[in-house]
A and B are shown apart, each in its own frame.
Chain A
């Protein structure tokens, strides 16, 4: 029954992927929502137009679904998606360049894609930012709302946040402190597991 399903927004990737392999739509929705900006942002950072980025997005998630059972390290889903999205973008960029070489039309010159100065740096920035955002979102409310409101641009006023959360204004500071502590703990844990993952990859590649 639907009510027996867990809250997927709080589950780690490893557990969500188990539900995805059972074709649970809500688990799949969480994976797509969680990584949408990363998977879509990579082709855009590499200079592809929105319509091509749409194609990369679709290709990447289709490939994930196809290869779910082959994922050897489901805890490294983010890295898998970055690689898949980057490869799909490169394929499109190559075909775009080929198309451009074939078309001598001067109109095509006007449509030349603007390639950012350093796509790799841009992708890394996006990846770091999304990792932070996912950690904040995984804290759940009220921490999620407080931290996203506080660090939004421009930051939301404390009074407005307190009203929305139904908290007395005076308790927002201590709650914020607890939220920051939870974020620190969470990021620390993720950093450790990431380092372990990297070590496993390094050992495996020797």
Chain B
């Protein structure tokens, strides 16, 4: 094989995945011995495959959240509250439980809050084995045609505790440690949307 003619992408990929048929492997190896470019390409692709196969340890969600919270916008001042529209509670799983006289075994509460332009889906998940109680949420804009904002923030405010916040990405999903009391408030800012949820 001429060193000026390089190995095709499919040969390089199959070699990186170590799936080259023996009939082609000999010629490919002979080419690699004389072609630094192909040898370098193969080492790159093999390196990528090995790195992905290795499953390196990842920080937990909590660890990531703490690092992300290092750059969080300051929570709105009391004077700004009115700029955040108050959301209306339209569904609470506890109503269902009360209506059917049942109590869910897992401490999970589901609520839907409504604003003219969006719904907010909230799930309060109780402590599990090795897992702290968590407040999970997602903003669901009603007008799907509009592009989802790229950035936003959600703050949780409880009396006697510092406001905590997380960054909202384009999916509008977030996860926070669950509030410690029954009374708490959430402020959400997601692009032009400003939403206030007050749980009393």
Interface residues of A (CB under 8 A from B): 1-3, 5, 7, 20, 23-29, 32-33, 36-37, 40-41, 44, 50, 53-54, 57-58, 61-62, 65, 126, 128-130, 132-133, 136, 147-148, 150-153, 155, 173, 176-177, 180, 183-184, 187
Main secondary structure of the interface of A (DSSP, over half): helix
Q: Is the CB of B9 within 8 A of A147?
A: no
Smallest CB separation, A140 vs chain B (Å): 14
Q: Is the CB of A133 within 8 A of B48?
A: yes
Checking B44, B52, B57 against A44 with a beta-carbon cut-off of 8 angstroms, the contacting residue is B57
For A44, list chain B residues within 8 Å (CB): 57
Binds A, one of B67-75, B84-92, B94-102: B67-75
Q: Which B-chain residue is minimally distant from A37 (CB atoms)?
A: B56
Main secondary structure of the interface of B (DSSP, over half): helix
Can you list 13 residue pairs at the A/B interface with Cβ under 8 Å?
Answer: A25-B151, A33-B64, A36-B59, A36-B67, A54-B60, A65-B70, A128-B51, A129-B48, A147-B48, A151-B49, A176-B13, A180-B12, A180-B41
Q: Is the CB of A187 within 8 A of B44?
A: yes
Checking A24, A54, A151, A153 against B45 with a beta-carbon cut-off of 8 angstroms, the contacting residue is A151
Checking B48, B57, B73, B150 against A40 with a beta-carbon cut-off of 8 angstroms, the contacting residue is B57
Provided the pairs A2-B191, A128-B47, A173-B10 are in contact, do residues A61 and B70 lie with their beta carbons within 8 angstroms? Answer: yes
Q: Which A-chain residue is minimally distant from B49 (CB atoms)?
A: A151
Interface residues of B (CB under 8 A from A): 9-10, 12-13, 16-17, 41, 44-45, 47-54, 56-60, 63-64, 66-68, 70-73, 147, 149-153, 167, 169, 190-192
Q: How many residue pairs bridge A and B at CB < 8 Å?
A: 120
Checking B56, B64, B73, B192 against A25 with a beta-carbon cut-off of 8 angstroms, the contacting residue is B73
Q: Report Cα–Cα, A57/B68, bound state, in Å.
A: 11
Q: Is the CB of B54 within 8 A of A25?
A: no
Q: Is the CB of B9 within 8 A of A176?
A: yes
Q: Is the CB of A133 within 8 A of B67?
A: no
Provided the pairs A3-B147, A24-B71, A187-B44 are in contact, do residues A153 and B59 lie with their beta carbons within 8 angstroms? Answer: no
